Every structure is written in C-alpha cells, then in structure tokens.
Copies of this chain bind each other. A is one copy, B any other.
C-alpha cells in the first residue's frame, strides 16, 4: 500500500469531474469527494437517518456504496475506463447516526488489465469501521 496519497494530477481531476457529474447514487448518499489522485481517492459523508438499517445502525449497503464509489474513482483515475469485477467488505464496528465517515481508497496493484484497491472507512474518532477490497478490470476505452 503506498505510504502516502499520491499527488493530484490533471487526468485524475478530469476523470473525477466526468464521473461525478452523472453519478446519481453517490449524490443520493451525499458523498463529498475531497481528493482524487493517481490510484487514490478520499471522500467523506455523514450518516443520515435514511441510511440506517432495521437495528438503528448504518446499513452495510450504504457504507459499501461509499467505498465502492471511492474504489471506482481510484481505479478510473488513470484515464482508462475500469469496471469492478469483485469486492469484499469486512464490517468491524457499526456506524451510528451523525457519524462523519472518511473513506480512503489506495491502489495495491496495477497491471495492464487488472487493478486491486483497498479502501478503509473510519469515523470522526479515527475508529476503523470497515475494510473493503476491490478488483477492477481495465478496459481499453480512454475516458478523456
């Protein structure tokens, strides 16, 4: 895992604008993308009442969706259209109403056709709520 977030770069910024303009589900969730760099993405969101599950905690699907968006931005950041093949999530602690979650995706591996990413979701106290790992297939379509 790269020790530091890579610096922003023009392709990553343009990819971010292109992808977020139409990403209705990320808008529905109120995701705020703070930074996209080469192989990197960090976003933030607040746990709202309409994101809770039947036990009153953050629905795992809402947390997964935020991680999936960070994964998508990180793997598309190189400018080649990339699609998720498979992802896994570990739920470590429950998110609560009002929590402010930071979700950060980092590239573990980038090959010609395949990229692998890890995403960590932490709350405002630095507690790790979930680990996400995603594998993407990199098509030959250029995004820009």
A51 close to B25 (CB less than 8 A)? yes
A85 close to B114 (CB less than 8 A)? yes
Q: Is A142 an interface residue (CB 8 A)?
A: no
Q: Is A46 an interface residue (CB 8 A)?
A: no
Q: Is A54 an interface residue (CB 8 A)?
A: yes
B72 close to A66 (CB less than 8 A)? no
One digit per residue, 1 when the CB lies within 8 angstroms of any chain B CB and 0 when it does not, for chain A 63-83 equals 011111100100000000101
B84 close to A91 (CB less than 8 A)? yes
Q: How many copies does the complex hold?
A: 4
* Bound Cα distance from A52 to B23, whole angstroms: 6
* Bound Cα distance from A79 to B25, whole angstroms: 33
Residue count of chain A within 8 Å CB distance of chain B:
56
Interface class of chain A by DSSP: mixed
**Given A54-B23, A54-B72, A61-B64, A131-B133 contact (CB < 8 Å):** yes
| Other-chain residue from B22, B59, B87 in contact with A56 (beta carbon distance below 8 A) | B22
B114 close to A137 (CB less than 8 A)? yes
Nearest opposing residue in chain B for A65, CB measure: B61
Chain B contacts for A60, CB-based, 8 A? 65, 68, 72, 84, 87
6 closest A-B pairs by beta carbon, nearest first, are A61-B65, A19-B54, A25-B59, A23-B54, A88-B88, A61-B68
